[in-house]
Amino acid sequence: MAGGGATGGTVQSETYREARTLLLLPAWVTLGLLTLAPLMIMLVYSFLTKEFRGGVIWEFSLDAYDQFFFDRGLFGDEPPKIEWTYIGIFWRSIWQAGAATILSLLIGFPTAYFIATRPEGQRAFWVFLVTIPYWVNLLIRTVSMKFLLRDEGPLNDGLIGLGIISEPLGIVNTNLAVQLGLFYSYLPFMVLPIYAAVERYNFALSEAASDLYAPRWAVLRRIVIPSVKPGIIAGCILVFVPSLGSFLAPDLLGGARTFMIGSLIEEQFKGNAGNWPFGAAASMILLTMVLFLLMVFARQSRKEAA
């Protein structure tokens, strides 16, 4: 009996097993209905034939995956070459999400450390402050970001006013704008797990390290960071994964050159121009990739823990 508590007689354990099945039912139904079923639908759709006005024809086909990886010319009759367009979009997405994650970590770690080192009564207040912007809709926040960053916006005005630059930076429609948008969208997901880890950290360890001649940066690098690493990894995953599939920030803040996976998938299901099997296939490829990255992460941290 996996994971169950030890029970006395056979009769008792049978009742126990029945009760357990019954009690677990809501969890299984929720998981099955809301996670497994949609996933299966996506998987099946990715192997069907496309209908031109959206939707699918119930006929098995590998076209969607073929289209993703191979280029067979305009009429589909040339010998197949590798199709770099979509792989390129994936690569750019990984890069953008990675940059946003690093940015979140650089800002989020000191923020989390700051909050966790406040007196106990004040910490809830600081956490509350971090979450306030998230009461505003993501769309509105992203549009506001555009207004802040645009050439006539307060950022450029301010920098020009201070005499730091003479021309607007032209941030909007660049990779940087998208990274900033993603960073701002998901920053709390970095701050909160790191905050939780730092709060549990035993600060006597920092004292012990400085007592043993470690200057401040060595205390941070050798003692604090390794101790709160699980929180850092959790934060990175929580920022990286949604950034990878995000389409609001790239759509609103980026231009044609900053096209990301999220937008690619979104287009396939929007209006009449879409290609449902292709969208489903792209989603499955994204999912596979994310799972693969998480597994590498998990294995890495397990190896270090041993």
The footprint of other proteins (CB under 8 A) covers 202, 204-205, 207-215, 218, 222-223, 226-227
Query: What are the C-alpha distances in Å from 64 to residues 54, 92, 213, 276?
Result: 14, 21, 61, 9
Place of tokens 């207004």: 147
Distance CA 72, CA 51 (A): 20
Q: What is the rounded CA–CA span in Å between residue 16 and residue 12?
A: 6
Residue placing its CB nearer to other proteins in the complex, 219 or 244: 219
Strands (E), the chain: 48-50, 56-60, 70-71, 81-82
Q: Whole-number minimum distance, CB 230 to other proteins, in Å? A: 11
C-alpha span between 109 and 103 (Å, rounded): 10
Q: Which of 275, 239, 298 is closest to 49 using CA atoms? A: 275
Which class for 131: exposed (0-12), middle (13-18), buried (19 or more C-beta within 10 A)? exposed
Please say which residue, 5 or 215, places its beta carbon nearer to other proteins.
215
Closest distance to other proteins from the beta carbon of 225 (Å): 10
Q: How far is the CB of 205 from other proteins (least distance, A)?
A: 5
Cβ of residue 203: shortest distance to other proteins, in angstroms?
9
Residue 187, both tokens: 């920053």
Please report how close the Cβ of residue 3 comes to other proteins at its closest, in angstroms.
Answer: 24
Nearer to other proteins, 177 or 224 (CB): 224
The least distance separating other proteins from the CB of residue 56, rounded to whole angstroms, comes to 52
The residue among 113 and 259 lying less far from other proteins, judged by its C-beta, is 113
Nearer to other proteins, 29 or 218 (CB): 218
Integer Cα distance of 283 and 285 in angstroms: 5
By beta-carbon proximity to other proteins, the closer residue of 4 and 226 is: 226
Q: 122: buried, middle or exposed (CB in 10 Å: 19+, 13-18, 0-12)?
A: exposed
* Least Cβ distance, residue 217 to other proteins (angstroms): 11
Of 40 and 205, CB closest to other proteins: 205
- What gap in Å lies between CA 67 and CA 47, rounded to an integer? 12
Distance CA 255, CA 92 (A): 13
Q: Which is nearer to other proteins, 39 or 218 (CB)?
A: 218
Residue 14 half-sphere exposure toward CB, CA atoms < 13 A:
3
| Rounded least distance, CB 206 to other proteins, Å | 9
